[in-house]
Amino acid sequence: AAASRVFAFRDARWAPDPVLEPSAAVRTPQPVPLVIDNGSFQTRAGWASADPAVPAEPLLRFRSLAARSRGARGGAGAETQVGNDLGSPEPLRWLLRSPFDRNVPVQLELQELLLDHVFQRLGVASQGCVDHPIVLTEAVCNPLYSRQMMSELLFECYQVPKVSYGVDSLYSFYHNRRQNWPCSGLVISSGYQCTHILPVLEGRLDAKNCKRINLGGCQAAVYLQRLLQLKYPGHFAAITLSRMEEILHEHSYIAEDYIEELQKWRSPEYYENNMHKMQLPFSNKLLGSTLTSEEKQERRQQQLRRLQELNARRREEKLQLDQERLDRLLYVQELLEDGQMDQFHKALVELNMDSAEELQSYINKLSLSVEQTKQKILQAEVNIEVDVVDSKPETPDLDPLGSEQSLEDVESINEFEPLFAEEQPEVEKPVAAVQPVFNLAEYHQLFLGTERIRAPEIVFQPSLIGEDQAGIAETMQYVLERYPKEQQAILVQNVFLTGGNTMYPGLKARVQKELLEMRPFQSSFQVHLACSPVLDAWYGARDWAVEYMTREEGWITRKDYEEKGGEYLKEHCASNVYVPIRLPKQAPRTTEALAPSRVLTSSTGNPCEQV
């Protein structure tokens, strides 16, 4: 039973997204909408069409991350990788960038990289324009500046014909509607960065009473990482955020009563029965070396051959570069000999030289360098075979021209100096098997006890991580108290849970318990969980796009964008409420305001009182 509770980290690598060839049904008889669920954790994209030939599911799912590598020294330049092309986020953790601040996109150059990735992998030609309508999700009560920049990116950069914005949790709410469901309800959406409480009345979002908690799956993963790093300081580097997210997704749960659950964990029997062991990767290689002297000798020879090959490759690259520069300088010298002075002086300026004498000096130096490099290559080919006779090997002379030895060659040889340490040519002692004094596998295990409930509990008790915020229960009660009792009873009849952070086992029971404590005696309520809390937002946006494909309701056309600005929003059943910018009107300047001296010099009353 104990062995069955040992779980190994999967450490799954992300497979790069293939370039998909769109079917003819997405362009005929007219281009179908492209649905993009632009989440702060994951981006999902796919087509919205009633044609059975078009898949009714997101074709792309990748993390909303981008990283720009610095590039290898002497090799190619910087390379930008997006989403699943990263492979694994941990080696590039300090290079990862996200376009989101909380759940609002603010870095539009990174957002453009994500959209380029979507269009490229879905087979949309985005060089000239994207001729498909776009359905894009946005945050609740999205700032007008963020929507303005997003509209500018879509209309100006991609030339889209029209776009529609909607709230992801409302799309999920309408996708999960059943026949007997009311149009009103209380939506609890918990994602990667934020948790929202959204009241929906008569099918429309009541934006004035929406509340946000700045906690989600990201903060839970960071909290769990700190807990385990304090508990296991010897495995500090192995406790990564990716592994913490795996623990949260597969081994954590929400306690129905947190204090009571902690009391249960104090029991040794309960701890043994419910504790999960996470196996970290480790190596069984022992510290004692079991290589014979012949194997060590062969290993040294292999290292010397690799060093020779490395030096030869560097010399060839250097010879090629010097030869190209020499050819360029000789071409400029020929211009001088032919009397083409204008082109000669122009070439000198490009080379950052002042005179023909300086040009001749550079030509002489490069010619000498090319000849020396050729001699080194020829000498290395002669001495390619290495004989090691002594037990103390001598480093072969890779560079016979000692005075002209390059700095890179010296550094390469110095790197291998520890490998050629002197050995004592004494009688070789028999190698004894080293027996470990403890179980290596058990030493590399993380024991998950109360951490399974402490990390996800922060959305109900933010004070656990020092946040001065209200939890889900307090915020839900605060929102309900802003309505009359009749509307409260309507809202609690349909409490809807959606978002990736609501997939913990026990969350629905916990919300029911909190509602039971805050609602009046013998009052009724119902709590529903989304069928697919992660993907229902995309499915709901697709349903809306298929239904409203030929209508004008909810679509912002390019004409609307040019006339009313990028922050303009056409409302629909799953959208935000549009609040236009209202600039304060300046009061007209009257004749009395233009002549203040008459007021101050009035003969009746106190002048200060009149002012």
Instruction: Determine the pLDDT at residue 154.
Output: 95
Which pair of structure tokens corresponds to residue 216? 């989600």
Instruction: Determine the pLDDT at residue 251.
Output: 95
Contact 31, 132 (CB under 8 A): yes
Contact 475, 188 (CB under 8 A): no
Q: What is the mean pLDDT of each run of 10 residues along the chain (611 residues)?
A: 72 90 86 94 94 92 89 63 90 90 92 94 82 94 94 94 95 84 90 95 93 96 96 94 95 96 95 94 65 81 87 86 87 84 83 84 87 83 53 42 44 47 45 58 92 96 95 96 95 95 96 95 93 95 93 93 93 90 64 43 40 32
Instruction: Determine the pLDDT at residue 424.
Output: 46
Q: Tell me the three-class secondary structure of 303-319, residue by residue.
A: HHHHHHHHHHHHHHHHH
Helices (H), 383-502: 407-415, 440-443, 451-454, 472-480, 485-491
Give the CA distances from residue 225 to residues 101, 239, 300, 397, 468, in Å, rounded to whole numbers and listed in that order: 21, 6, 42, 52, 21
- Listed in sequence order, the residues at least 6 apart from 335 whose beta carbon sits closer than 8 Å to its beta carbon are 343, 344, 347
Distance from C-alpha of 592 to C-alpha of 601, rounded to nearest angstrom? 13
Q: How many CA atoms lie within 13 A of 373 on its CB side?
A: 21
Q: What is the DSSP string of 235-265?
A: GTTT--HHHHHHHHHHH----SSHHHHHHHH
Instruction: Determine the pLDDT at residue 589.
Output: 61
Contact 118, 76 (CB under 8 A): no
**Burial tier of 80 (Cβ tally within 10 Å: 0-12, 13-18, 19+):** middle
Instruction: Determine the pLDDT at residue 426.
Output: 44
Instruction: Determine the pLDDT at residue 78.
Output: 73
Instruction: Determine the pLDDT at residue 586.
Output: 63
Which pair of structure tokens corresponds to residue 419? 């490998």
Instruction: Determine the pLDDT at residue 285.
Output: 63
Contact 184, 603 (CB under 8 A): no
φ/ψ of residue 34, rounded to 5: -105, 120
Distance from C-alpha of 325 to C-alpha of 156, rounded to nearest angstrom? 44
Which pair of structure tokens corresponds to residue 390? 């002594």
Q: What is the pTM assigned to this prediction? A: 0.72
In whole angstroms, what separates CA 89 from the centre of its chain? Answer: 8
Instruction: Determine the pLDDT at residue 601.
Output: 39
